[in-house]
Amino acid sequence: MNIIQERFNDIIVITINRPDVRNAIDRPTAEKLSEAFRKFDADNALKVAILTGAGGNFCAGADLLAIAEDGSRKNKLNPNMKEDGPLGPTRMLLSKPVIAAISGYAVAGGLELACWCDIRMADESAKFGVFCRRFGVPLIDGGTQRLPRLIGLSRALDLIITGREINAQEAYEWGLVNYLAHDVKKESLELAQKIASFPQQCMRSDRMLAYRGMHMPLADALEMEFAKGTDVIRSGETLDGARKFAAAKGKNFSS
């Protein structure tokens, strides 16, 4: 199977399983990856997803061997932004968070997939870069747009223009990686479990507001934030949390 799915209670780990090509993604794999994330988003029992790769690498981007064949395995190029991207889910805005658990190569489209995730955790073996620069393959799964938003235009242009490699430490210092890990699969699962333990409506609402508000004038974004925030308060989730805090006399403030 090119995509493996493992459930751990309310968490799902989605693994790209093509280790012989550093988890490069051809069209069938992209379709399966999109299907996996659609099912995750629609499943009320699941709260957090982890995206990772098999065999010591995250993802090397589009499968250039499939593209060179120019047959049915080459990635689909659909100009309709409501449809899937060439690598699958990169045009989706899910309602729930996704953590990228990165070892080895996260390059070219693999870097774009990592940028699509909400949070990136990497171990010391992780390598990042726009390696497709040397082969004339453009970034068309969000890389030219998400990279500058995550790390700033100057650093994004460095990677985009030069195609150079950066390691996990440099990616962490730049803010591309949120967490450095010794055991990325274990620690990403622990992080997912912590996120899954939070009141979900509030967390998901605040997450979505951060995405939606990025492209809005501040006054409009603040109005949207207030409207959505009061929806959460009216749901009863806030009152329930306040009562739990009061019952513990604030002892759980930092946990």
Same domain, 179 and 231: no
Digit-by-digit pLDDT tens for the chain (255 residues) are 999 999 999 999 999 999 999 999 999 999 999 999 999 999 999 999 999 999 999 999 999 888 888 788 888 889 999 999 999 999 999 999 999 999 999 999 999 999 999 999 999 999 999 999 999 999 999 999 999 999 999 999 999 999 999 999 999 999 999 999 999 999 999 999 999 999 999 999 999 999 999 999 999 999 999 999 999 999 999 999 889 888 886 566 565
Q: Name the pTM for this structure.
A: 0.95
Whether the Cβ atoms of residue 108 and residue 61 lie closer than 8 Å to each other:
yes
* CATH at residue 224: 1.10.287
Distances in whole angstroms, Cα of residue 214 to Cα of each of 84, 113, 149, 224 = 22, 20, 9, 12
Q: How many domains does the chain have?
A: 2
Indicate if 83 and 192 belong to the same structural domain. yes
95: which 2 tokens?
């309602």
One-character DSSP codes across 215-233? TS-HHHHHHHHHHHHHHHH
Residue 254 lies in a domain: no
Domain of residue 88: give its range. 3-196
CATH number at 83 reads: 3.90.226.10
